[in-house]
Amino acid sequence: MSEEEQKRAEDCSAALRNSSLRVTKQRVAVLQAVDTHPHADTETVIRAVREDLPEVSHQAVYDSLHALTEVGLVRCIQPSGSLARYERRVGDNHHHLVCRSCNLIVDVDCTIGRAPCLTPSHDHGFIVEQAEVTFWGLCSDCAVDTPEQERERSESSSAA
Partner DNA sequence: ACCGTTTCCTTGACTGATTCAAAACAAGCC
Partner DNA sequence: GGCTTGTTTTGAATCAGTCAAGGAAACGGT
- Chain contacts with DNA (rule: CB under 7 A): 17, 21-27, 41-43, 53, 55-60, 62-64, 66-67, 83-84, 159
Q: How far is CA 115 from the centre of its chain?
A: 23
Between residue 42 and residue 81, which ones bind its own copies under the rule CB under 8 A?
A: 76-81
Buried-exposed string 41-69: b where 16+ CB fall within 10 A, e elsewhere? ebebbbebbeebeeebeeebbeebbebbb
DSSP single-letter state for residue 117: G
Q: Is 126 in the site for its own copies (CB under 8 A)?
A: yes
Q: Is 92 in the site for its own copies (CB under 8 A)?
A: no
Region near its own copies per CB under 8 A, out of 7-15, 43-51, 124-132, 146-154: 124-132
- Among 21, 67, 118, 157, the residue binding its own copies under the rule CB under 8 A is 118
* Torsional sign, CA 93, 94, 100, 105: negative
Region near its own copies per CB under 8 A, out of 2-10, 21-29, 30-38, 135-143: 135-143
Q: Is 128 in the site for its own copies (CB under 8 A)?
A: yes
Distance between the two ends of the chain, CA-based, in angstroms? 32
